[in-house]
Amino acid sequence: MLDIVEDVKLSSGDPYRSVCQELVLPYSNVMRWRNHRKHGEAAIGKPGPAKVEPFDVAALHNDIRQLPFGRKRVQGTTALQDRYRHQISRRDFQALVEVARREAMHEQKTLERRIEWLIPGLVWSMDDAKEHWLDQQRFGHIHLLQDLGSRFKLRVLGDEVLARGDQVAENLTHLCEQYGAPLFLKRDNGSNLNHHAVNEVLNEFGVIPLNSPPHYPPYNGGIERAQMEIQEVLNLRIGTQQVDTVVFGLHCEISGNEVNHKRRRSLGWQTACHVLEDGRRDLRFFGRRERKEVFEEIKSLAVDINKALNEHTVAAIETAFRYAAETWMQLNNMIRVTRNGEVLPPFYQIWSH
């Protein structure tokens, strides 16, 4: 029957729906037969219940758990469902995927460590973001620096293009002179944030850079949340307007000022502006000599950790340095690391045992 439909369609050039009407055949049935044949199956199956292939529930569950889970989407589900299409319905398959996704998100949240930044002014973070604030064809780019201890937005720069490395360096110099240089600066691996001019500024002020592991935004989660906060304010201020670059830049500056004067429960209902001002006095304990001593202590810890890891790749060396820096900050009461409400010991102590 399907061959007849195909012959009529080929000779007449009419669409399938017209051919089905002419032959008095249900269009949905013909489409189903074509789909069966496309997958190498019999176009019209035999009457009675379909045969079901052996179904290994454990294997399916394991395959689902291997999928890359996101907070809202799971990649690779279409291909996996196609593999199991003879053993489980699409609806039941999607239900299993959703259950597995929730389990994975719960496990991830359970295992996530939370870092509390205890001393304002000593650790900064910077990052870039973009969104269609100018119009549907042009992005508005944000370059943000934040003090992690106080959540104070040091500068929110807005432009039509991504901030260049020399602009990042110039902005960083100005902020170090205005607020006093931090001891650490967290950043991702963007080329503009790791520009040689930026590294020269860090070296000049004795700031220790801490780069995020590749493809792992949670390491710099504080600045990620800050970007979201600024974006929410910008969305309220700009709405559906189409603004030019100058107006967009002004909105960015005003948004930073607005959130800096917001009282926060996490800061004891103080503003970020007030907390940073009170904490800046701790910077006077870190002159150029003290900063060099801190770097040497962290480097020594990193060497010991790297030996224990017994890996000598660039990634392993960078990982050891991050662990060492975190250990130093914990031992000097700059941060508190918790998991499920329990305070964790410094990594160096965990490793040494």
Cβ contact 156:252 at 8 Å: yes
For position 199, what pLDDT does the model report?
96
Name the β-bridge partners of 264.
270
For position 51, what pLDDT does the model report?
47
* Residue 27: strand, helix, or coil: helix
Q: Does domain 118-285 have CATH number 3.30.420.10?
A: yes
- Residues counted in the chain: 353
Overall average pLDDT of the 272-288 stretch: 81
Residue 121 CA to residue 181 CA, distance in Å, equals 8
Per-residue confidence band for 49, with pLDDT thresholds at 50, 70 and 90: very low
Name the β-bridge partners of 152.
147
At 87-137, the pLDDT tens digits run 788 888 888 888 777 767 656 665 567 888 888 999 999 999 887 666 666
Mean pLDDT of the chain: 82
Q: What's the pTM? A: 0.67
Highest averaged pLDDT of the listed ranges 123-132, 191-200, 284-293, 339-348: 191-200
The runs of H, that is alpha helices, within 206-271 are 221-238, 245-260
**Which residues make up the CATH 3.30.420.10 domain(s) of the chain?**
118-285
Cβ contact 52:87 at 8 Å: yes
34 versus 74: the higher-pLDDT residue is 34
For position 26, what pLDDT does the model report?
83
Q: Which two tokens stand for residue 273?
A: 């502006």
Report the candidate in 142, 230, 218 with the shortest Cα–Cα distance to residue 186. 218
